[in-house]
Amino acid sequence: MSEADREWMGSLMRPSGTLSAGSFFVGVWMAFLTVINILFGAYSNGRRVNWVDFLTNGNETNSVHEVAFAFPDDVVFGLVSSLLIAAGVMGMGAARKDGFQGWFSGLPRDRVLTSIFSTEYGLGRTFASWMIVSGVAYYLVWSSFESTWVDPGVYSVMISFVMVGIGLNWIQDAKLES
């Protein structure tokens, strides 16, 4: 195998900071939904979500239950969220010299977060960061008022805002590198 091939294979096998951060944040969001579902019910009117059927579009997709804890569904969803958080923590630890703790403690100084309050990194990054904030705020506010946390329409709006904001931030990062 040539040196170029080894370098290419090595870059594929190296952990990605972006993928690790994504895994961590999705895991935290899933853990939040698990807690909401157990304590209050993530579906409207305080009903609990059957996660397995909700995610696989099974026969009982729209079926919800009144019990406080649906053992298989809530446990599996909680375990998957824990695995995603762990994968994010371990991946970030391997991707960065300062590890997960360095990444996490540096978040308040990150360009994406500081550009919410300042145009120091350009108006494009400020707009992109506000798109992310708007998407997350929309989801949290709407879900709180309507007391349902699993509405696909709300997910569609939130994900559109968040992903456009992330994409615009990546474009700004690419401009810095060139």
- Condensed to tens digits (0 to 9), the pLDDT of residues 54-63 reads 777 655 544 5
Residue ending a domain, choose from 90, 106, 122: 106
Q: If you compute the radius of gyration of the chain from its CA atoms, what whole number of angstroms results?
A: 19
pLDDT higher than threshold 90 for residue 70: no
- pLDDT classification of 65: cutoffs 50, 70, 90: low
**Whether residues 127 and 87 fall in one domain:** no
Residue whose structure tokens are 């895994």: 23
Residue whose structure tokens are 């700004």: 172
Helix residue spans in 97-151 (DSSP H): 99-106, 111-114, 123-146
Higher pLDDT, 68 or 161: 161
Residue 44 neighbours by CB under 8 Å, 6+ apart: 146, 147, 148
Q: How far apart are CA 140 and CA 130, in angstroms?
A: 15
Residue whose structure tokens are 């919800």: 64
Residue ending a domain, choose from 106, 130, 165: 106
pLDDT average, residue stretch 64-87: 79
**Whether residues 131 and 54 fall in one domain:** no
pLDDT average, residue stretch 59-74: 59
**Whether residues 76 and 151 fall in one domain:** no
DSSP state of 67: S
- pLDDT classification of 161: cutoffs 50, 70, 90: very high
* Chain mean pLDDT for the chain: 85
CB 139 within 8 A of CB 158: yes
Task: Name the residue range of residue 152's domain.
Answer: 110-178
Q: What pTM does this model have?
A: 0.82
- pLDDT classification of 13: cutoffs 50, 70, 90: low
Any bridge partners for residue 48, and if so which?
A: 65
Residue 140 neighbours by CB under 8 Å, 6+ apart: none
Number of domains into which the chain is organized? 2
**Whether residues 37 and 120 fall in one domain:** no
pLDDT average, residue stretch 91-119: 91
